[in-house]
Structure 1
């Protein structure tokens, strides 16, 4: 008879396995999730089918405020996506006056976040937060180009060794609350969380003049991971193929 030594590794329980598959929730979401859950209980009391609808909405709300970990490339010169979503525009545009980035068009990458995307925003590069400017406004569809001018927005200027980067949180048709966690003068690392927008919105990234964006319209961006630009890359641009 052969006796095997006890293993130092304990088998993972089903509960631990499930827990590992569920992303953490950002604290900003707890009041909303609790409100949806309470409403679901009331709906169950009124009529069971309505309660199940409320339960599904509660699950959606929890997923909206998910705050998953990300793996951010840290090489100097990289600019990463500040938000999950679809790259809706890659163009040149005048930056908002409150950013103080000049009166000439700069490369701009816009990322549209639907209500199904993770809405935690991350810094596109390491540097110092030089300016934060909030501007009230409308709540038109964030996919429209004029949303950059008309909608409520919160703008950051990040000073980096490779130039100043503008990041703008833009409220959308459903969004009614922009949250910013950082302050002026604070140092921030690439991929670090700096804010979120509740329920559908858009982020614009203004790059220094002459920077070549490395993403294309229609591409899916992952906050803190997708590379938007590389200051150290002498690359005239890239071509893309859509399936």
Structure 2
């Protein structure tokens, strides 16, 4: 079986007290890999011209907005910028509620019991239903503030729209500073989602997770992390 590893290239950021990391995925037989699957399966594949990490949620995990990601070992970020290209497809046995859920968990603590997350629902973005379109992007905070609670208590505040689709590469850039996070889609100059009150506060820090949910075959490539 091929073992997934990542190569981290780090350098000091000019004028900043932090590091920039570019993460490339490779196939090796070395067991000392740096990718930690959490309630998911993973593999490295050449897909749509990119060397990508393929991630699928464990089918036994029925709850949504859970710690279902590949954790990047050795990465610890409080404030900074996370960039990644993502692509999602629906599994053949995907339930009707599947939307191609794919995104990024950040500030993941050591035992994966607390983290922030932003993900996209590509099928919603081109649905012939404006309400679904308005729910193309989602912020959530594990474990207490999943999408359903946020939608009930603050309708529309933690969801937004951006154009995207299944089976196409989508560039996500998440800028995190203190209690604020902004999501930019496909090099847009303006954010598609702004969160001003991250639920774990401004002092939380932790790892990065490449996240998927129910019914999704997710691919991740071109990961870059700039930590302040």
User: Would the TM-score normalized by the shorter structure come out above 0.5?
Assistant: no
TM-score computed with the length of structure 2 as normaliser: 0.28
TM-score computed with the length of structure 1 as normaliser: 0.27
Query: If each structure's strand is expressed as a fraction of its own residues, which one has the higher value?
Result: 2
Which structure has more relative contact order (CA 8 Å, sep 6+)? It is 2
